[in-house]
Structure 1
Amino acid sequence: MTETARVPQGAPCWVTLLAPHLEAARHFYGELLGWHYRPGSQGLGPYEVALSEGVPVAGLGEARDSLRAFAAWTAYFAADSVDVVAGRVRERGATVAVGPVRFGAGRVAWAADPAGAVFGIWEGAATPGWRVGGRVNGPAWLELMTRDAFAAALFYGEVFGWDLADPDRYDIRYEHDRVILRIDKETVAGLSGGAVEDAPDPRIRPHWHVHFRVEDVEASAAKAASLGAEVVSPPAESPTGRLAVIRDPQGALFSIESAGA
């Protein structure tokens, strides 16, 4: 990550794709979302930063040999202290898999919540220009797909201190069958329960799901299919706008939704 200014504690601050084959991922998302790339560095293997109209929107990394079978998007959340947040994760029976470790001018840890959803904890400044919701062909918002949204909201609220945060800045409420987090009046994340447990597809496990904003959901879903992706849920209306769920050719799940959402 390139450092400029810090973002609020507990706010989404970056997303990355870890895929078995970086070149295939570059091609797919470049064709689908019009991304261009520049070299990046994460210290864990080949890595590139995806750009939309010159602004960084995501990171793409190539999995090492032990993870070659997996492809997944990971969401990162800002922490005033990665050590404090990692400690809270452990105190609540969840797992800190890696870190905290030094990463450029910041520090990072990778964790899994009690249901197994993986997320990153980032202490440091944010990538310049990056934010959820602000750009077509960039992340629109993040959604935790889990078994119990209320238990998850308690976990993340306690870990990141949402319950102690400035009430004029943070707003957590239940809407449209999910727990919604708003920061500075912008919807940045949702926590949805039940669907994962009932999912007939065994590949779907609790995870942080990235929604990307596009101009035309139907056209983008058709384009994704033509590029070898699976349209898991075809375009349909949702509380956040018209939406489709896609599994990319290497198996990573994400959603596309209308720019007007």
Structure 2
Amino acid sequence: MSVIMPATAAIGGAPCWVSLMTHDLPGAEKFYGEVLGWSFRPGKMGAEFSIAIAEGQPVAGIGLLPPSWRIPVAWTPYFAVDSANETAARIRERGATLAVGPLELGKGRAALAADRDGAVFGLWEGQTLSWAVGEGEAPMCLELRTRDAFDAAIFYGEVFGWAPDQPGGCDITYEHDEVIVRDGAQTVAALRGGAVEAAPDPHVRPRWHVYFPVHDIERVTEAAVAAGGFVLPVTPMVDGSGCQAVIRDPQGGLFTVATT
């Protein structure tokens, strides 16, 4: 797991990191360096992990998938928890799956899980680097694309302690058929799926999706194609604040770039 070494505390239940698990670490570094301009330094978990740097700040992690892990190449969000064991128990109690862990990693503990619809996410017990969704070059937002956003909100709310108007943690609200998760005033995640009382969409493949901010989306998408990626056409963002494009890297990792 591409997990950072501790440095600061994170609010319980809030996203605290994102990582790409891939079969080709050097190839991933080359692709994301050419497309997003990232540089890389070795992670403190060994040669199989690296940390992406942009504007002098940590952005994300990239880790090599062990052959024994039957996990698809994907960008994965990690959420801060007080106790990895207790969170893992809540995940199992609610019919979801613990894929890996909890494991001791450095001075923290981590695990990978899949929710009841199969979307993969991670949890981290310990301190993190100074990193937050929506700040600097870190992801501007995380999005869960799922079949039933309301059911997903119940699951994640119970697992991570998300609650409306609950002090000391993440707040959730239901707006326009999507669930919005906020860490204070900052929107850190959105859960999008079917409307309340609507039948789940069987065509949706549930997954967490990461949005990275860019200034020149045409340059980025052209660089992605030149580097061997696949790019969907640029479209307006849902809130009309800019434009976005979905990119698949050469190993199959999906992410979105969006103008800031």
Task: Normalising by structure 1, report the TM-score.
Answer: 0.89
Number of the residue aligned with 1:202 = none
Number of the residue aligned with 1:32 = 35
Distance 1:169 1:83, change over 3 A: closer
Shift of 1:117: 0.7
Contact 2:77 2:208 in 1 (8 A): yes
Number of the residue aligned with 1:23 = 26
Aligned residues: 251
For the residues of structure 2 that align with 1:247 and 1:34, how far apart are their CA atoms? 17
SS at match of 1:219: helix
SS at match of 1:163: coil
Identity %: 50
Deviation larger for 150-159 or 61-70: 61-70
Q: 2:98 pairs with 96, 101, 105, which one?
A: 96
Number of the residue aligned with 1:250 = 251
Code of the aligned partner of 2:166: D
For the residues of structure 2 that align with 1:161 and 1:55, how far apart are their CA atoms? 29
Contact 2:181 2:190 in 1 (8 A): yes
Code of the aligned partner of 1:130: W
Number of the residue aligned with 2:182 = 182
Shift of 1:97: 1.6
CA RMSD of aligned residues (A): 2.1
Number of the residue aligned with 2:236 = 236
After TM superposition, list the pairs within 5 Å mapping 1:1-261 onto structure 2. 1-42=4-45, 46-66=48-68, 70-127=72-129, 129-136=130-137, 138-163=138-163, 166-167=166-167, 170-194=170-194, 197-198=202-203, 205-239=205-239, 241-259=242-260
Runs of 4+ aligned structure 1 residues displaced above 3 Å come to 66-70, 167-170, 194-197
For the residues of structure 2 that align with 1:12 and 1:196, how far apart are their CA atoms? 26
Contact 1:169 1:185 in 2 (8 A): no
Deviation larger for 63-72 or 182-191: 63-72
Contact 1:20 1:68 in 2 (8 A): no
SS at match of 1:4: coil
SS at match of 1:238: coil
Task: Normalising by structure 2, report the TM-score.
Answer: 0.89
Distance 1:51 1:162, change over 3 A: same
SS at match of 1:8: coil
For the residues of structure 2 that align with 1:58 and 1:168, how far apart are their CA atoms? 25
